[in-house]
Structure 1
């Protein structure tokens, strides 16, 4: 049996190169979607967390079966999440850095499926309890003048460094006919190639300083 001709071999190499370029282009597009999702979600999430209306806002970003761990304590379901939020004082989050990676997603049989997105965030949070750093009036008085200072405050009143990771998943799940649930965060690339409504599937918050 005769082997492939030089032309056939060249065509095969060209096809493989084109497929590789397409895959690389799609991967770059998925990374762009993840970065956009991280920016959009982080802005919405921490604005909601610091809002006086957070009890009504934050739960809409989660799924009914979301896995939540807050500083080592498991939180089961939206009811417990609301209880946790209700017990916490007001807060102010200042983000220092965040990173994002697409998980899965891509084109299969001509159908685009948006990826899940893994997001990691680091920042500083201050809780507004009586006497906290966020409620202390600024002063130019010398330390020798006495009075309270940040070093005199209890740990829970100080600004604290935190790390938080999220796994966001698109809803409804690809291949199902389920209606799009209320809530979540709408994310899309600038060219509209990738778009999805993302919800928190998993959330792990921990103080690291």
Structure 2
């Protein structure tokens, strides 16, 4: 039974971390976009509407040309990824769903 409690604690911690990350990510996307690449690893790859963007410089350039935005997250799902799959690196899989409004001028 102790193992089930430990796993539940692990999942709860993953969910809290995911919620905090999602809040930070989308607030940064909407209000401080230039800081967004700091949330990515050096060799990160982003796929946005079928467009592949790889590396921090390319990500910074990509985010720079996007219009102002307002993201609304309606659903969040998360789960810890087993450390054997991530070379003992703590990893959480996060999936969100919601809406985004892109604005020609600053969103109000």
- Give the CA RMSD over aligned residues: 1.9
Q: How far apart, in 1, do the equivalents of 2:43 and 2:6 lie?
A: 31
Q: Tell me the residue number matched to 2:93.
A: 118
Unaligned runs of 5+ in 1: 1-20, 106-112, 136-209
SS of the counterpart of 1:63? coil
Q: Matched residue of 2:44: which SS?
A: strand
**Alpha-carbon deviation of 1:115?**
3.1
1:87 CA drift (Å): 0.7
Residues 30 and 115, structure 1, Cα contact 8 Å, conserved in 2:
no
Structure 1 residues 114 and 28: alpha-carbon distance in aligned structure 2, compared to 1, 3 A threshold: farther
**Counterpart among 55, 59, 75 of residue 97 in structure 1:** 75
Q: Provide, for residues 145-192 of structure 1, a one-character-per-residue CA deviation record: whole Å limited to 9, x for no partner.
A: xxxxxxxxxxxxxxxxxxxxxxxxxxxxxxxxxxxxxxxxxxxxxxxx
Q: Which has the higher helix share?
A: 2
* Residue 29 (structure 2) aligned to one of 49, 57, 71: 49
Does 2:21 correspond to 1:38? no
Q: Cα distance, 1:33 vs. partner?
A: 1.1
Return the offset for 1:114. 6.7
Structure with greater Cα Rg? 1
Corresponding pairs, count: 104
Offset, 1:77 = 0.3
Q: Deviations over 1:105-161 (max 9, x none)?
A: 4xxxxxxx773100000011001115xxx66xxxxxxxxxxxxxxxxxxxxxxxxxx
TM-score for the superposition, normalised by structure 2:
0.87
Identify which of 73, 78, 89 aligns with 2:51.
Answer: 73
Partner of 2:104: 129
User: Please, which runs of 5 or more residues in structure 2 have no aligned partner?
Assistant: none
> Counterparts of 1:15-26 in structure 2 under 5 Å?
21-26=1-6
CA separation of 1:114 and 1:30: change in aligned 2, threshold 3 A: farther
- Given that 1:64 and 1:78 are in contact with CA atoms closer than 8 Å, whether structure 2 keeps it comes out as yes
**TM-score, normalization by structure 1:** 0.47
